[in-house]
Amino acid sequence: MDTRFVHAGSDPRKQHGYVNPPVYRASTVLYEDIEAMDASQADPLKREMPVYGRFGTPTGRAFEAALTDLEGGYAAVATCSGLAAITTAILSFVQAGDHILVSDSVYLPTRKFCDSLTGLGVEIEYYDPCVGKDIDNLLRPRTRLVYLESPGSTTFEVQDVPAITGVCRSRGVVTVIDNTWATPAFCRPLGLGADVVVHSATKYLTGHADSILGAIVCTEATFATVRATAIRLGQCASSDDVYLGLRGLRTLGVRLRHHQHQALELARWLEKQDGVVSVLYPALPDDPGHELWHRDFSGAAGLFGLELDPRYRKPAVDAFLGELRLFGLGHSYGGYESLIVPADPVSHRLPGTWSGRGPLVRVHVGLEDLDDLKADLGAGLHALSEQRA
């Protein structure tokens, strides 16, 4: 995989010998003649070049080809953001009257989008991410799609992807899975039976907190549908952003392994600190999802959840967060910098999901020195301990 990260989507022979493809900033493309124009108009998926900037540039094609190779797919579609990849993938397969099942642990913007589909006549049902093969009991004649995210956002439940996709495939139900956390460095969901994989390439794929980008990787059976929907929705990614995504892929394996090393070390350290109830990280042997993670993943990203003692309330958590200097208070993750944000699984999950448990924060472990990160969190935990409910 390391070799493929370095070379996927790159052909210096077609780039005048240069290692990286140039950035094509383009809208209008001129055809050689009317026959070429007629041929492009006859292609509904607009896959041949040149056509028009909105349908892709050589830079974008290189990124799509690289990610397709790394995920083991048939073809990919680049989008303007991770959420755009999610919404495009879902809209490709559902219409009014359909029923879709969505993991209760999904990324909050995914949930908000799915909730909005009820206004278009789509019935949304959230399911326990740990349901496994019992997803069969939730499928209905009108179920068109099952959406997965493994591990889940903020609470990091690991789903039994082969069990769920196996049931769905036998019933003719499409499965879409968010692979942003693991990336193809650590998991390839198409090989586990998924039909479509979505990425917020903003995060680990780009890896430097300087791009907004999404991607959808498809099987041969699903690509035409997704590509056609992307065209109808006007989905496209800027050439500058896909260039940054392609550049990020080159170091993805190295970066993810170091993020894993940093996160695992810090997670083990945090488990021993006063005020910490648990660390939600599938790579830890006592994590509820560890067995499935060990089976289906080859590594763990640098993102985990930190559950604090229930006796602490918001003022105490605010004091903890306010004391931090290296862990930035900011959304997103996957860059070189460490980040932390409070999470609220009570208001955004099925009733009772987080009942009786303590405050939760989401931690992204960056590439700073581990001793410095421990010292930073130690200062925050000291501020936490000085607060009382």
- Could you tell me which residue, 56 or 7, shows the higher pLDDT? 56
* Structure confidence at residue 78 (pLDDT): 97
Task: Give me the residues paired with residue 77 across strands.
Answer: 216
Q: What is the pLDDT of residues 252-292, one digit of tens each?
A: 999 999 999 999 999 999 999 999 999 999 999 999 999 99
* From 61, 111, 144, 203, the catalytic residue: 203
pTM confidence score: 0.94
Question: In whole angstroms, how far apart are CA 368 and each of 251, 358, 371?
Answer: 17, 28, 9
Q: What angle do CA 75, 142, 224 make, to 5 degrees?
A: 15
The DSSP code for 307 is E
The answer on pLDDT for 314 being more than 60 is yes
Q: Which of 14-23, 142-151, 224-233 shows the lowest mean pLDDT across its residues? A: 14-23
Any catalytic annotation for residue 314? no
* Structure confidence at residue 49 (pLDDT): 67
* Structure confidence at residue 118 (pLDDT): 97
Q: Which of 19-28, 171-180, 271-280, 311-320 shows the lowest mean pLDDT across its residues? A: 19-28
Give yes or no for a contact between 5 and 70, defined as CB atoms under 8 angstroms apart: yes
The answer on pLDDT for 340 being more than 80 is yes
The answer on pLDDT for 29 being more than 70 is yes
DSSP alpha helix (H) spans, 20-151: 34-41, 58-71, 82-91, 108-116
Give yes or no for a contact between 336 and 209, defined as CB atoms under 8 angstroms apart: yes
The average confidence (pLDDT) of the chain is 95
* From 107, 147, 312, 333, the catalytic residue: 107
What are the φ and ψ backbone dihedral angles of 135, each rounded to 5 degrees?
A: -55, -25
* From 4, 46, 47, 54, the catalytic residue: 54
Any catalytic annotation for residue 203? yes
Q: For residue 355, give the amino acid letter.
A: S
* Structure confidence at residue 387 (pLDDT): 80
- DSSP-assigned states of every residue in 322-346: HH-SSSEE-S---SSS-EEEEE-TT
Q: For residue 366, give the amino acid letter.
A: G
Tokens of 34: 């009317």
The closest of 131, 14, 1, 2 to 62, measured between CA atoms, is 14
Q: What is the pLDDT of residues 63-72, one digit of tens each?
A: 999 999 999 9
The answer on pLDDT for 374 being more than 90 is yes
DSSP alpha helix (H) spans, the chain: 2-7, 34-41, 58-71, 82-91, 108-116, 161-170, 183-186, 220-232, 239-250, 252-271, 290-296, 314-323, 370-385
Give the residue-averaged pLDDT of 183-203: 98
Question: In whole angstroms, how far apart are CA 286 and each of 142, 156, 289, 349, 356?
Answer: 38, 13, 8, 23, 20
Give the residue-averaged pLDDT of 214-236: 97
For residue 124, the surrounding DSSP H or E stretch is strand 123-127
Q: What is the pLDDT of residues 44-61, one digit of tens each?
A: 898 876 788 899 999 999
* Structure confidence at residue 215 (pLDDT): 98
* From 178, 241, 287, 296, the catalytic residue: 178
Question: What domains, with CATH codes, occur in the chain?
Answer: 2-250 (3.40.640.10), 253-385 (3.90.1150.10)
Judged on CB neighbours under 10 Å (0-12, 13-18, 19+), 41 is exposed
CA-based Rg of the chain, rounded to a whole angstrom?
Answer: 22
Tokens of 28: 């209008």
Give the residue-averaged pLDDT of 145-166: 97
Q: Reduced to 3 states, what is the DSSP secondary structure of residue 116?
A: helix
Residue 22: Cβ within 10 Å count = 14
Q: What is the pLDDT of residues 74-130, one digit of tens each?
A: 999 999 999 999 999 999 999 999 999 999 999 999 999 999 999 999 999 999 999
